[in-house]
Every structure is written in C-alpha cells, then in structure tokens.
C-alpha cells in the first residue's frame, strides 16, 4: 500500500510517498481502506516534532479518517467487511489502509460522503467538550469565538447556536467573516494580523468589548493564542470561562491580574486526553453530534480537497492559516 511518510523532522515539503506492507488486523481491530483523511493543525506540528506526541519514524500524519472496512480481526463484533466508518487514529491516517481498534470507529451515516465524515470528529468533539464540559455554556449566554472560520471555529459557531448562545465570531478577513455568518454567527469582528504593539492590542480589546456589550462574554473560545489572547481576555465577563484550545499564533502569556478582576476561569481543553480518560462521556457527546448532524444543526464544511500525492500541500495550507473550514485529502476513490 502507499503511505505519505514523515522520515525526518520538517515541514510538509519533507513528506514522501512510499510503499509499505498492508496492515493486518490484530485482536479487536479492523483494517480500514482509507477513502478520506481530514487535515488538522496537529498535523502541522507532529511532522516538525512540536506536538505533545512524537511517533517513531517513519510515520504518516493524519489523525481523522473515513473509509470502508477491509478486514476484521479476532473478537470483533458488530462490524463487517464493507461497512462505512469514520474514526480517530491520532496519526497514521495518510495511508491507503490502516489497522484501527474497532472500539474507536463510528458508522458513517448513509447519504454522507467520506470527505464529510472525515471532517466531523476532531473539530466537533473537541468543541462540544470545550463548550459544555469546560465552558458550561448555557442558553442566553454570550460566546466569543476566535479564529472563527477554521474547522474548530465554525464548529464552535454552530454548536454555540445549537445550545442557544449569542455568538460573536472574530476572523482575519471579510471572506472569513462571511463564512462565519453563513455558519450562524450573530456578529462578526475582522481583526488585523498580529503581532500587535500596546496600542494595537488595546484597540483589539476595545473591538471585542464593543461587540460583547456591557456584561462581556460568558465564554471565550480561543483556538488561536498569540497576541489575540490578552485582548480577548480583557473582554470577558464576570465569572466568565476562557477556553484554551490551541496556539497557531504562538503561546501567550496572560496577565493573571485580569483573572482576579473578572473572577474568571482560564480552562485548558485537551479533548484527546478527555476521550481516553472518560470514553463513555465522549461517546455520549459523539451521539449528540450525530443527532445534531441529522437535524441539520451542524454541518462539517469541507472547502478544499487534495489528491493523495498532494497531501503535503493541504498541511502547508493549514500551516499558513489560510484554511476556511476543513481541508481533506482524498486517499482513494
């Protein structure tokens, strides 16, 4: 089988197509013939050895797949060859076939494409865990979403609206603002590109505050970090919850006096660890996501697809923060 491999630390241009032996399903596993693999920001980091996990090389990036079961291992029940599935593999998804623990798979609903299916789990499962478990978002509250046109950003808009919040979406261009409005945002903010000096940081904080109103935001969803974090935190409301999701703009240093003045919480969001520690709670969230998907209240937005050989280009576009919605590599037809 073909695989897109990272053989040494580096950027997307270092990835190489190679031939590997087909995997064999072990006990409790199935082999999935991968049809589509969604690209996420961890794929940018993992090939540069900047992610929390550093797989042994050579390895394929790509943590989110959709495909068809090719073979079933010993002890697996409820799955059969030919079943359409989606699942999270952490890494190793940019391959033609992958062995996966059967317990980590979900059935891809009829009428949904492999590209759509590959784009669901990481962004929406991260976001529903963030908003409900960490942010305690309730109907009638206000939610500020940074990086709102990316995969997790659009998921936060849709889920925020599904749970009755007023959603303000902050983005870096008018094109992205339109994508946020299309997803249901009540109001949009177009911010400048960092880095910011002191005056620019204050001006951005004033933008956030103006859109948030006198009471500030109940929940702030931040998958961006960098110089955007402190201005956003300055706009939080009393006892608000600031959700730390990711750092493509850099790891910020927050002035903790702001947390005292607002009596607010700064909450880390690590969905992968949550899913591993509490699989039943995670499964309940995924069930909810499938219901919301069926009801049309969420809809993974795949804005660009790439051929298997061009998978590195998808990761490069993600690294450049040029993506709106989800990028998907079509591994096979």
Q: What is the pLDDT of residue 321?
A: 81
Q: CA-to-CA distance for 12 and 43, rounded, in angstroms? A: 9
Q: In terms of residue numbers, what domain contains 323?
A: 2-120+300-330
The b/e string for 20-40 (b: 16+ C-beta within 10 A; e otherwise) is eeebebeeebbbbbbbbbbbb
Q: What is the pLDDT of residue 11?
A: 94
Q: 129 and 254 share a domain?
A: yes
Q: What is the pLDDT of residue 13?
A: 95
Please give the DSSP secondary-structure letter assigned to residue 191: P
Q: 133 and 112 share a domain?
A: no
- Would you say 287 and 295 are in contact if contact means Cβ atoms under 8 Å apart? no
Tens digits of per-residue pLDDT, 253-266?
Answer: 999 999 999 999 99
Confidence of residue 51 (pLDDT cuts 50, 70, 90): confident
Q: Which of the pair, 129 or 51, is modelled with greater confidence?
A: 129
Q: Which of the pair, 51 or 27, is modelled with greater confidence?
A: 27
| pTM (predicted TM-score) | 0.93
Q: 20 and 110 share a domain?
A: yes
Between CA 267 and CA 179, with CA 215 as vertex, the angle to 5 degrees is 70
Q: 154 and 70 share a domain?
A: no
Q: 127 and 261 share a domain?
A: yes
Final residue in a domain of this structure, among 254, 272, 290: 272
Q: Could you write out the DSSP letters of every residue in 62-114?
A: --EEEEEEEEE-TT--S--TT-EEEEE-SS--SBSEEEEEGGGEEEPPTT--H
Q: Which of 324, 314, 247 is nearest to 51 (CA)?
A: 247
Decide if pLDDT at 323 tops 90. Answer: no
Question: What is the signed CA dihedral for 274, 278, 279, 280, rounded to 10 degrees?
Answer: -130
Q: Which of 169, 132, 129, 135 is nearest to 240 (CA)?
A: 135
Find the CATH number of the domain harbouring 305: 3.90.180.10
Tens digits of per-residue pLDDT, 11-50?
Answer: 999 999 999 999 999 999 999 999 999 999 999 999 999 8
Q: 173 and 237 share a domain?
A: yes
Decide if pLDDT at 215 tops 90. Answer: yes
- H-helix or E-strand containing 294? helix 279-294
Tens digits of per-residue pLDDT, 56-65?
Answer: 999 999 999 9
Given the DSSP bridges, would you call strands 265-268 and 236-244 parallel, antiparallel or unpaired?
parallel
Decide if pLDDT at 207 tops 90. Answer: yes
3-class DSSP state of 48: coil
Q: What is the pLDDT of residue 295?
A: 96
Please give the DSSP secondary-structure letter assigned to residue 56: P
Taking all residues of the chain, what is their mean pLDDT, rounded to a whole number? Answer: 96
Q: What is the pLDDT of residue 12?
A: 95
Bridge partner residues of 150 (DSSP): 325
Please compute the mean of the pLDDT values over residues 1-19 and round it to a whole number: 95
Q: CA-to-CA distance for 121 and 50, rounded, in angstroms? A: 22
Q: What is the pLDDT of residue 209?
A: 97
Tens digits of per-residue pLDDT, 124-157?
Answer: 999 999 999 999 999 999 999 999 999 999 999 9
If one counts the domains in the chain, the total is 2
Please compute the mean of the pLDDT values over residues 100-108 and round it to a whole number: 95
Please compute the mean of the pLDDT values over residues 269-273 and round it to a whole number: 94
Q: 155 and 259 share a domain?
A: yes
Please compute the mean of the pLDDT values over residues 99-117 and round it to a whole number: 95
Residue 313 lies in a domain: yes
Distances (CA, A) of 183 to 56, 105, 187, 277, 290: 39, 27, 11, 31, 18
Q: What is the pLDDT of residue 333?
A: 79
Confidence of residue 322 (pLDDT cuts 50, 70, 90): confident
Q: 107 and 145 share a domain?
A: no
Q: 232 and 127 share a domain?
A: yes
N residues, the chain: 333
Q: 161 and 72 share a domain?
A: no
Please compute the mean of the pLDDT values over residues 247-276 and round it to a whole number: 94
Find the CATH number of the domain harbouring 211: 3.40.50.720
Q: What is the pLDDT of residue 33?
A: 98
Q: What is the pLDDT of residue 53?
A: 83
Please compute the mean of the pLDDT values over residues 214-231 and round it to a whole number: 96
């Amino acid at each position: 089988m073909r695989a897109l491999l990272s053989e040494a630390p580096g950027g997307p241009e270092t990835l190489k197509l190679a031939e590997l032996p087909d995997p064999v399903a072990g006990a409790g596993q199935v082999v999935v013939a991968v049809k589509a693999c969604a690209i996420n920001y961890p794929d940018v980091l993992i090939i540069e050895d900047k992610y929390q996990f550093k797989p042994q090389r050579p390895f394929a990036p790509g943590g989110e797949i959709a495909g068809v079961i090719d073979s079933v291992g010993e002890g697996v029940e409820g799955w059969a060859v030919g079943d359409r599935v989606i699942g999270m593999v952490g890494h190793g998804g940019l391959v033609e076939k992958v062995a996966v623990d059967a317990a980590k798979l979900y059935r891809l609903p009829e009428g949904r494409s492999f590209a759509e299916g590959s784009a669901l789990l990481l962004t929406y499962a991260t976001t529903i865990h963030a908003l409900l478990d960490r942010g305690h978002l309730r109907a009638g509250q206000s939610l500020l979403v940074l990086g709102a046109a990316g995969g997790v950003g659009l998921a936060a808009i849709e889920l925020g609206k599904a749970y009755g919040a007023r959603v303000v979406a902050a983005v870096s261009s008018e094109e992205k603002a339109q994508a946020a409005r299309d997803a249901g945002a009540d109001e949009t903010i177009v911010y400048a590109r960092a880095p910011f000096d002191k005056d620019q940081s204050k001006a951005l904080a004033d933008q956030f505050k103006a859109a948030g109103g006198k009471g500030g935001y109940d929940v702030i969803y931040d998958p961006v970090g960098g110089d955007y974090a402190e201005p956003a935190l300055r706009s939080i409301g009393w006892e608000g919850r600031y959700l730390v999701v990711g750092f493509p703009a850099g790891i910020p240093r927050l002035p903790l006096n702001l947390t005292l003045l607002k009596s607010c919480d700064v909450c880390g969001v690590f969905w992968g660890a949550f899913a591993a520690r509490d699989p039943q709670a995670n499964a309940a969230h995924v069930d909810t996501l499938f219901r919301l998907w069926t009801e049309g209240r969420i809809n993974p937005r795949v804005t660009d697809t790439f051929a298997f050989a061009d998978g590195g280009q998808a990761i490069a576009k993600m690294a450049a923060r040029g993506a709106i919605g989800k990028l998907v590599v079509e591994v096979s037809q």
